[in-house]
Amino acid sequence: MKVLVINAGSSSVKYHLYQMPQAEVLARGVVERIGEETSKLSHFFQSKTHTAQTKVEDVEKAMELILKTLASRDVGVIQGISEIGAVGHRVVHGGEEFTGSVIIDEKVIASVKKFADLAPLHNPPNLAGIQAVQRKLPGTKQVACFDTAFHATIPKIAYMYGLPYELYEKYGVRRYGFHGISHRYVARRAAAIMGRGKYDINAVTCHLGNGCSITAVKQGRSVDTSMGFTPLEGVPMGTRCGDLDPAILFYLADKGYDVKSLKILCNKKSGLLGISGVSNDVRNLEELAKKGNTRAKLAIDIFCYRIKKYIGAYCAVLDKVDAVVFTGGIGENAVFLRQQICTSLTQIGVQLNRAANQAAIAPVPAQPQVQAKEAEINTKDSRVKVFVIPTNEQAAIANDTYELTREKQAIMSKQNHKHTAPLSKPANKRAY
Ligand code: ADP
């Protein structure tokens, strides 16, 4: 079965076409700069690259281009789009409604729309991707994989804020958490590497990319995470501030900042960029720090310190920790940063193997077909394992999509065979 995985954002749509259950990537690519004068398609297939510049107005047009490219005679990998058996979508916000991935029906679509209020930048393009597939591939099963779903197991003591309870009841103000597909994937990979079952691991998983979040995983389930009501909370990120005393915002409001400028300040001008004043990219900051730029060094030091604080707090939450896992663009590549964080974690039982840490880097971008490798970077006598595990959200989505649609197909054909009514209960609320 061929499964198409879609990650639709407001300015780009990423895609992967998988042959399942082998999880072989047949083609992948991205349409970028959607809505601009010229958009760009980058398409990778059979060790080849195809690029094209064209105007792509919106997500629907991007989906048209992707489907056309996948089935094109020159650069395509399928004879026709009817070969696509199912489509899996990354959906950022599932509110409190979804504890796992689900087959998309009208009720799920209504929920994705409803939660656009909580994720106004993300859920609308996710939904546009789903609706484009409904139009272009009518009848094809679609699955929604929510970034929030893995965190549905966080207990109330961890997800409630110290605000009046009515705000939770009336507006849903609580911790939701994000990057769940990634945290779930790396926690399960860590368990597999250790030769354990997926519910037999306690870990602190650190997803460090442009956005950063840290999760406490107890017996394979999320029990706390650093991102909160929105992806702004937690450790400082590339351009986001992370945890703040909320009174700072009232103070700035008194100084003349309005809501719009505070949003821009906290989301786009803070974090590594705001502290250093020069860059949100740890590669640049490392270079500059080496050359003596004190603000670049300060940004890195604050970033590492705050990550250490979260790891320490989650060790207390978990009682016993088997592994710390690094993933995301920074977690997978920034050797010096992992070293700085891990060498300050000796008191919780982390002993870093510096040579193994140095060796754990992703392949250069010029080799897009090469998969980054998983690595264990602790010494033999380290009480806590430390892993670098390249995240693979698309593989997790492909897998969920395959499992859900295959299961449904099997049940339906069995029922049809028995001449009974089709399934009445949707697969919502399905736990992983
Ligand atoms: P996103 O959250 O948008 O998916 P990524 O996970 O790709 O982002 O992370 C992007 C960040 O990863 C960059 O801003 C940069 O700080 C860091 N990064 C990427 N490549 C490297 C590298 N080779 N060395 C160190 N840091 C890197």
3-state SS assignment for residue 196: coil
**Quick one: 101 and 218 in the same domain?**
no
Overall number of domains in the chain: 2
* Choice from 185, 273, 330, 388 to test ligand 1 binding pocket (greatest atom count within 8 A of CB): 330
Compute the mean pLDDT over every residue in the chain, rounded to the nearest whole number: 92
**What is the mean pLDDT of the segment spanning 213-236?**
97
Q: Is residue 170 part of a domain?
A: no
Q: Is residue 14 part of a domain?
A: yes
Last residue within a domain, chosen from 119, 146, 173: 146
Q: Is residue 397 part of a domain?
A: no
Last residue within a domain, chosen from 83, 117, 146: 146
**Quick one: 356 and 225 in the same domain?**
yes
**Quick one: 8 and 103 in the same domain?**
yes
The ligand 1 site (C-beta within 6 Å) comprises 209-211, 238, 281-283, 328-330, 333-334
Instruction: Clarify whether 258 is annotated catalytic.
Output: no
Could you tell me how many residues make up the chain?
Answer: 432
Q: Whose CA is nearest to atom 27 of ligand 1?
A: 330
Instruction: Report which of 415, 346, 427 is spatially closest to residue 386, judged by C-alpha positions.
Output: 346
Q: What is the pLDDT of residues 198-221, one digit of tens each?
A: 999 999 999 999 999 999 999 999
Domain membership of residue 41 as a residue range: 2-146
Q: Is residue 101 part of a domain?
A: yes
Q: Is residue 100 part of a domain?
A: yes
**Quick one: 72 and 142 in the same domain?**
yes
**Quick one: 120 and 30 in the same domain?**
yes
CATH of the domain at 83: 3.30.420.40
Q: Which pTM value belongs to this model?
A: 0.91
Q: Is residue 13 part of a domain?
A: yes
Specify the ligand 1 atom closest to the Cα of 211: 2
DSSP conformation letters of 181-194? HHHHHHHHHHHHHT
**Quick one: 331 and 213 in the same domain?**
yes
Q: What is the pLDDT of residues 50-108, one digit of tens each?
A: 999 999 999 999 999 999 999 999 999 999 999 999 999 999 999 999 999 999 999 99
Q: Which of 58, 74, 105, 147 is catalytic?
A: 147
Q: What is the pLDDT of residues 331-390, one digit of tens each?
A: 999 999 999 999 999 999 999 999 999 999 876 655 555 556 899 999 999 999 999 999
Q: Is residue 412 part of a domain?
A: no
Give me the helix-helix angle, 106-114 and 123-136, nearest 10°: 150
CA of 300 to the centre of ligand 1 (A): 14
CA distances from 74 to 41, 83, 191, 237, 396 (A): 15, 17, 42, 41, 29
Last residue within a domain, chosen from 107, 127, 146: 146
